[in-house]
Structure 1
Amino acid sequence: MSGDVHVRICERLGVKLPRATRRLVHCRNEQEAQALKAELQARLAEYRLEMHPTKTKIVYCKDGKRKGTYPNIQFDFLGYGFRPRLVRRSRDKTLFWGFNPAVSASALKAMRAAMRELNLRHRTDLPMDEIARQINPLLRGWIEYYGRYAPSALYPLLRYVNQMLLAWAMRKFRRFKAHKIRASRFLQKLAQEKADLFVHWRLGMTGTFA
Structure 2
Amino acid sequence: MMLRGRLRKRLAECKLEMSPGKTKVVYCKDRERTEAYPEISFDFVGYTFRPRKSFSKEGELSVNFLPAMSGRAAKAIRQTVRGWVKYYGRFYRSAMNCIATHVDLHLAKWVARKYKRVHGSLAQAYEWLRRIQRARPGLFAH
Q: What TM-score does the superposition give when structure 1 sets the normalisation length?
A: 0.44
Deviation at 1:109, TM superposition (A): 0.8
Instruction: Specify which structure has the higher proportion of strand.
Output: 2
Counterpart AA for 2:54: V
Larger relative CO (CA 8 A, sep 6+): 1 or 2?
1
Q: Distance in 2 between matches of 1:117 and 1:34?
A: 42
Counterparts in 2 of 1:53 and 1:203: CA distance versus 1, 3 Å: farther
Length, aligned pairs only: 113
Scaled by the length of structure 2, what TM-score is found?
0.61
Distance 2:70 2:36 in 1: 23
Residue 76, structure 1, aligned to residue 46, structure 2: no
How far apart are the structure 2 equivalents of 1:111 and 1:97? 28
Query: Structure 2 stretches of 5 or more lacking a match?
Result: 112-125, 134-138
Q: Do residues 107 (structure 1) and 77 (structure 2) align?
A: no
Identity, % of aligned pairs?
35
Q: Give the whole-Å Cα distance in 2 for the aligned partners of 1:78 and 1:200.
A: 26
Partner amino acid for 1:104?
Answer: S
Tell me which of 53, 56, 65 is aligned to 2:32.
65
Residue 122 of structure 1 and its aligned partner are, at CA, apart by 4.6
Gap runs ≥5 in structure 1: 1-29, 133-164, 166-193
SS at match of 2:110: coil
SS in 1 for 2:22: coil
Partner of 1:128: 96
State the secondary structure of the residue aligned to 1:204: helix
Q: Distance in 1 between matches of 2:62 and 2:39?
A: 20
Cα distance in 2, alignment partners of residues 34 and 52 from structure 1 = 11
Quote how far apart the aligned CAs of 1:53 are: 1.7
RMSD: 3.2
